[in-house]
Amino acid sequence: MPAMSLTSRVIGLQSLQAGDTVGYGSTFTAPEAMRIGVVACGYADGYPRHAPTGTPVLVGGVRTRVVGRVSMDMITVDLTPLEAAGVPVGVGAEVVLWGRGSDGSVLPVDEVAQSAATTAYELLCAVAPRVPFAVDGA
């Protein structure tokens, strides 16, 4: 059965200090120094605006999380797990929002939907026409 994958790329990197905030309304406060990736995807692309901090994503095949509020064209993700795993990340690194990454790593759309308190069907139907996506197994 074919499965849709929604992927993007890291378009920017930020270093935060403890107490720095991220997201509209400063919804995430860094508990310690940390590295953040800015990802080119937001609610105008169909990513759920209500996805909270902690919603899973894969960066370079490593599981991490969204931090802060989803904006129109961007989300921010915690790169701390990548650094802990010794995985270098830079601008252009692949981000799997759901589905299968080019390295074979998988993030089920159902898991993202559960985190965002919605259904996989709603996520899949919400992807905007401007978004290129891959269909695996077609």
Write the single-letter amino acid at 42. Answer: G
What number is the average pLDDT over the span 54-58? 98
Phi, psi of 82 (to 5 degrees): -70, -45
Percent share of the chain, pLDDT over 70: 94
pLDDT tens for 121-132 read: 999 999 998 887
Instruction: Write down the pLDDT at residue 138.
Output: 46
Torsion angle in degrees (nearest 10) through CA of 55, 58, 59, 63: 80
Average pLDDT of the residues of the chain:
91
pLDDT band at 1 (very low <50, low <70, confident <90, very high): very low
The domains found in the chain, sorted by start residue, are 3-128 (2.40.37.10)
- End-to-end Cα separation, the chain, in angstroms: 8
pLDDT tens for 57-104 read: 999 999 999 999 999 999 999 999 998 889 889 999 999 999 999 999
